[in-house]
């Protein structure tokens, strides 16, 4: 396990004066009496058990295994069950730290690593350990102090906390100095309360906590701003689409009313002129003039059809006059007429109960879906269904073409699909576009019908 894999979230030490610490923390505790020892170790191990950590207590005089069991039983609910389950182990130092009567630091480290690996494999978040150093004699001190530094380097990248206990009466001032230096910090009782000997840890934790809170606040604020920006863009997109529909309707009316009327008048005049020419018998080149007149009438008819089609594409009058149900049926017939691709429409509704804006958005989605069928699907048939499902109005467009791929649906450059999604959102609904290779593409739009807007089928 590498340091990059260690989560930055702090772990509760259970010790009020220490607070939260990160994984890999190696600190020490100076005590004078058995009560001092238990005052620190009981909340330390209780916090570990509460946070799904494997706990290991390496005991030594003045605390024996039975003392540890009794103290934890009074503090930890269901302690005996936790002990039987292996959530905590209380072992004598002679069993864990010695090999043939000699302290073996490497054996201790290897044992911790093996136990930590098994703990994580069993689902524990990590491991916390305490060892009492009261057994260390003067002859062993130098080797043990060197191992303490090795302990710090070894557990730094691991999901492990290590608290070492030092009895003040048994240690000299140089020993205590060595102990403090080989640990990240120490805690000791001063004026009746437990305090951190090295205040730099407390300051560093406070700074880390403040920085974390600032970072979280910034993330929340940026997320909120991004959400507001998205809502603003969506509202702007809706206003632009609405303005475009209104402008299209206005231009369509202008084309239909003015240009259509002018072309109709022109055709009537040409027909009247053709009748006059038909009554003249002796005018030279009469046949040629009448041929040109018929061609002009035909061109006028074509231009009138083009004007009507442009006006219809800008804003189909059937959508305003008869509603979405009839407009979808008309669009299906138009698609069949223009492309030759059979387009089957099924709808049993009389009125869909949508607002004009919602109806427009669904109709434009249908137009875009049929355009995609013509351009990309290589389909030979299209099925359109407009129906109610529960409290939703559902529009389904399905073809039997080559089928759209997942990559194509997620392509940010697919502006047609993006426009369909925006229109579905603007209508207060959802859209799903899916395909199956060789079996076609299906577009499903669902819009929630408000109770007071829903009509009987």
pLDDT tier at 275 (50, 70, 90 boundaries)?
Answer: confident
Window from 44-53, 186-195, 200-209, 370-379 with minimum mean pLDDT: 200-209
pLDDT tier at 1 (50, 70, 90 boundaries)?
Answer: very low
Predicted local confidence at residue 255, as pLDDT = 62
Domain-wise residue ranges, the chain:
3-197, 238-314, 323-448
Query: Is 348's pLDDT higher than 70?
Result: yes
Predicted local confidence at residue 116, as pLDDT = 92
pLDDT digits (tens, 9 = 90+) for 100-130: 667 777 788 888 889 999 999 999 999 999 9
Q: What rounded mean pLDDT belongs to the chain?
A: 81
pLDDT tier at 316 (50, 70, 90 boundaries)?
Answer: low
- 287-310 residues labelled b (16+ CB within 10 A) or e (exposed): eeeeeebeeebeebeebbeebbee
pLDDT tier at 252 (50, 70, 90 boundaries)?
Answer: low
Stronger pLDDT, 1 or 75, i.e. the higher one: 75
Residue 261: burial class (beta carbons within 10 Å; 0-12, 13-18, 19+): exposed
Predicted local confidence at residue 249, as pLDDT = 61
**pTM, 2 dp:** 0.45
Give the end-to-end CA distance of the chain in Å, rounded to a whole number.
Answer: 64
Query: Is 382's pLDDT higher than 90?
Result: yes
Whether the upstream peptide bond of residue 62 has omega within 30° of 0, thus cis, is yes
Helices and strands counted in the chain (H then E): 15, 16
Query: Is 455's pLDDT higher than 50?
Result: no
Query: Is 387's pLDDT higher than 80?
Result: yes
- Is residue 187 a contact partner of residue 30, using CB atoms and an 8 Å limit? yes
CATH topology of domain 323-448: Heat Shock Protein 90 (3.30.565)
pLDDT tier at 333 (50, 70, 90 boundaries)?
Answer: very high
Q: Could you give phi then psi for residue 306, rounded to 5 degrees? A: -65, -45
CA separation for the pair 290, 184 (Å, rounded) = 108
pLDDT digits (tens, 9 = 90+) for 131-178: 888 888 766 777 777 778 888 888 888 899 999 888 887 777 777 777
Q: 134-148, 283-297, 352-366: which has the highest mean pLDDT?
A: 352-366
Predicted local confidence at residue 414, as pLDDT = 81
pLDDT tier at 83 (50, 70, 90 boundaries)?
Answer: very high
pLDDT tier at 50 (50, 70, 90 boundaries)?
Answer: very high
Q: How much is the average pLDDT of 394-413? A: 91
CATH topology of domain 3-197: Rossmann fold (3.40.50)
CA separation for the pair 83, 391 (Å, rounded) = 55
pLDDT tier at 293 (50, 70, 90 boundaries)?
Answer: confident
Stronger pLDDT, 230 or 126, i.e. the higher one: 126
Predicted local confidence at residue 336, as pLDDT = 93
Percent of the chain whose pLDDT exceeds 70: 77
């Amino acid at each position: 396990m590498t340091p990059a894999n260690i989560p930055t979230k702090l772990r509760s030490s259970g010790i009020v004066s220490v607070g939260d610490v990160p994984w890999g923390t190696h600190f020490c505790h100076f005590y004078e009496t058995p009560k001092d020892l238990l005052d620190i170790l009981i909340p330390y191990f209780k916090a570990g058990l509460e946070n799904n950590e494997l706990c290991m207590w390496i005991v030594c005089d003045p605390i024996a295994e039975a003392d540890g069991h009794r103290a934890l039983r009074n503090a930890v609910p269901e302690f005996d069950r936790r002990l039987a389950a292996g959530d905590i182990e209380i072992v004598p130092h002679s069993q864990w730290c010695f090999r043939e009567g000699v302290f073996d630091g490497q054996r201790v480290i290897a044992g911790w690593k093996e136990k930590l690996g098994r703990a994580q494999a069993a689902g524990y978040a990590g491991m916390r350990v305490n060892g009492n150093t009261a057994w260390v004699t003067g002859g062993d001190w130098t080797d043990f102090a060197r191992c303490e530094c090795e302990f710090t380097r070894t557990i730094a990248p691991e999901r492990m906390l290590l608290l070492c206990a030092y009895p003040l009466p048994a240690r000299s001032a140089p020993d205590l100095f060595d102990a403090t230096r080989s640990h990240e910090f120490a805690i000791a009782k001063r004026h009746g309360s437990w305090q951190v000997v090295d205040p730099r840890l407390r300051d560093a934790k406070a700074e880390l906590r403040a920085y974390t809170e600032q970072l979280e606040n910034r993330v929340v604020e940026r997320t909120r701003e991004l959400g507001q920006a998205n809502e603003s863009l969506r509202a702007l997109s809706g206003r632009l689409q609405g303005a475009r529909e209104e402008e299209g309707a206005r231009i369509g009316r202008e084309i239909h009313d003015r240009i259509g009327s002018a072309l109709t008048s022109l055709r009537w005049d040409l027909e009247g002129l053709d009748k006059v020419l038909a009554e003249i018998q002796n005018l030279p080149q009469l046949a040629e003039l009448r041929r040109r007149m018929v061609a002009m009438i035909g061109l006028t008819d074509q231009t009138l059809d083009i004007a009507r089609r442009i006006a219809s594409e800008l804003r189909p009058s059937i959508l305003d006059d008869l509603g979405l149900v009839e407009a979808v049926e008309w669009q299906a017939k138009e698609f069949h007429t223009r492309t030759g691709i059979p387009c089957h429409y099924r709808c049993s509704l009389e009125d869909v109960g949508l607002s004009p804006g919602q109806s427009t958005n669904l109709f434009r989605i249908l137009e875009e879906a049929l355009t995609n069928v013509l351009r990309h699907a290589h389909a030979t048939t299209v099925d359109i269904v407009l129906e109610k499902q529960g409290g939703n109005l559902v529009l389904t467009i399905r073809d039997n073409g080559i089928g759209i791929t997942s990559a194509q649906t997620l392509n940010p450059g697919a502006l047609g699909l993006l426009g369909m999604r925006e229109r579905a959102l603007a209508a207060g609904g959802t859209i799903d576009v899916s395909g199956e290779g060789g079996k076609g593409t299906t577009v499903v739009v669902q819009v929630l019908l408000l109770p007071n807007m829903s009509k009987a089928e």
